[in-house]
Amino acid sequence: MNKIKNIFALLIVALVIFSSCDNDRNALVNPFADVDYKALALSDNDSIVKFLKTNYYDATEDLLKPLESGKTAIFEDSNNLKIVKVTQNEIEYTLYAYITEEGVSNSEKSNPTKLDSVFVNRTGVFLSKNKLITDKPFDVGNQSWWSLAPTFNAVISAPSPISGWTNGFPFFKSGENITNNGPITYKNTGKGYLFIPSGLAYPSINYVVGRSPSERPYDRILVFKVELLDFVKDTDHDNDGKPSIQEDANGDGDVTNDFSDSEKPKLPDYLNPNIK
């Protein structure tokens, strides 16, 4: 009888070990290995364009609604719809920024650059089957600072957002700070929407094997309702006295590929206070 019990116990242990090994193998499998990113880029753009052609902006209710007779589709509103091509991971994507309120400009600053830090309100939702999933926003935040330039988690800088923000926020103007001994308050801010293909959001091409596939909304089309409150003109990310936009050693317009410090060869100049 004891011999049978021992055999049964060994079988249980063997099953546990086999299950554990199987889980380890699964953890090392890339669930996105078969994604065709070029095809996905085209599909994403088709989905975004379809939405833009079948919806309009209701200024009274500050909402995007299905197109009605007599209304102008977002896609046809050329005065307010900004379109930009962005190449990332050697694939061309199309980003759409729709301006609902332009914001104001003054003698000191107007629109941020791709390297400035921005102070924003935002709500992010998914676009799926030609509808915005507004009842379950995946990202909501008010009065938060972000660096439009990649900061690679540097502690001296604000966190950096997705590429869709980096290339979209420069279309907006900031507002006027009217705070007066109370909560931080702005008026005449730049408002609108960013329609972001998955390749400029959280592309699974950047997925790290072993991490949870649900850690981020990989390969999803995102739509952000945004408000640009303020920004830091000529942001100096490393506080070395030189605006980051000027730390372009090779003069190609891309500061993220300038590495002048041989002792820190992976730290770009605009994040390195030892390089000016």
Identify the three-state secondary structure at position 213. Answer: coil
Confidence check: pLDDT of 67 > 60: yes
pLDDT in tens, 199-233: 999 999 999 999 999 999 999 999 999 999 999 99
Strand partners, 127: 132
CA 196/CA 207 separation, integer angstroms: 18
pLDDT at 154: 66
Residue 59, amino acid: A
State the Cα–Cα distance between residues 160 and 45, nearest whole angstrom: 24
Q: What is residue 7's predicted lDDT score, i.e. its pLDDT?
A: 55
Sign of the C-alpha dihedral computed for residues 107, 120, 148 and 165 taken in this order: negative
| E strand or H helix that includes residue 117 | strand 117-128
Q: What value does the mean pLDDT of the chain take?
A: 89
* Confidence band of 167 (pLDDT split at 50, 70, 90): very high
Task: List the one residue out of 276, 156, 172, 150 whose CA is nearest residue 224.
Answer: 172
User: What's the pLDDT score for residue 22?
Assistant: 46
List Cα–Cα distances, 64 to 13, 59, 98, 194, in angstroms. Answer: 57, 9, 11, 12
CA-CA-CA-CA torsion for 146, 124, 173, 181, nearest 10 degrees?
A: -70
DSSP string, 82-126: EEEEEEETTEEEEEEEEEEE-----SS-SS--TTSEEEEEEEEEE
Q: What are phi and psi of 21, to 5 degrees?
A: -65, -40
Whole-structure pTM value: 0.86
Q: How many CB atoms lie within 10 A of CB 185?
A: 12
Instruction: Confirm if 65 and 82 have CB atoms less than 8 A apart.
Output: no
Q: Quick one: fold of 37-234?
A: Chitinase A; domain 3 (3.10.50)
pLDDT at 23: 47
**What pLDDT band is residue 21 in, cutting at 50, 70 and 90?**
very low
Contact, 190 vs 101, CB < 8 A?
Answer: yes
Whether residue 11 is predicted with pLDDT greater than 80 in this model: the reply is no
Q: What is the DSSP letter of 72?
A: P
Kindly state the DSSP code that residue 198 receives in the 8-state scheme.
G
